[in-house]
Structures are given as structure tokens and as C-alpha cells.
Amino acid sequence: MSTKEKIQEEVLVEELTSLNNEIILYNDDVNTFDHVIETLIRVCNHTSEQAEQCSIIVHYKGKCTVKTGSLDELKPQCTQLLEAGLSAEIV
């Protein structure tokens, strides 16, 4: 019979805690595509293509992550989205 050795490895897991937050934009029946696109460009610094794609995803899927980053960075952006009449939250 042979002896099997069990090797135990220590694995260091490093997490990026500063980028774990996301702004989720939700669909509504109030805002137009143009308003959502213009707001995403202004508030989240999206390109027109990014903003258009996000608005389409929100329309068909009901929600979309529109920005990721630190909580301190996302709070003012989420506030601006809410002030523009959009439905959004940070998760």
C-alpha cells in the first residue's frame, strides 16, 4: 500500500471592498428614453452608446447596473438620478 500525503495550502483572498457597490436603475412608466439617456450621460458620464444600451436593458429586463464604485462616489450620483425622477438605488 502507498501512503498519500495531504497537502494543505493557504490561500490569501484579497477583496476589493471599495468597488463592491453598484447603482441599479429600475424601469418605470414615466420617463422617456431620451430623458434616461441624457441623465445617464450627464450624471454617470456614460457615452451615448452606453446610456442607450442601459436604457434598453432597463426597459426590457426591468433593471440595470449603470455604475459601480465606492459608496462615497456613488451616493451623489444616485441622488442626482433620483432628483431627475429616475428610480435607482445603491446595492
Beta carbons within 8 Å of 75's beta carbon, 6+ residues apart:
90
Q: What is the pTM of this model?
A: 0.79
Structural domain range at position 78: 32-90
pLDDT digits (tens, 9 = 90+) for 71-90: 999 999 999 999 999 999 99
pLDDT digits (tens, 9 = 90+) for 24-58: 999 999 999 999 999 999 999 999 999 999 999 99
Q: Is residue 66 included in any domain, yes or no?
A: yes
Q: Is residue 21 included in any domain, yes or no?
A: no
Helix (H) or strand (E) holding 6: none
1 pLDDT band (50/70/90 cuts)?
low
Q: Is residue 86 included in any domain, yes or no?
A: yes
The structural domain count of the chain equals 1
Q: Is residue 53 included in any domain, yes or no?
A: yes
Q: Is residue 49 included in any domain, yes or no?
A: yes
Extract the C-alpha cell encoding 11: 490561500
Q: Is residue 7 included in any domain, yes or no?
A: no
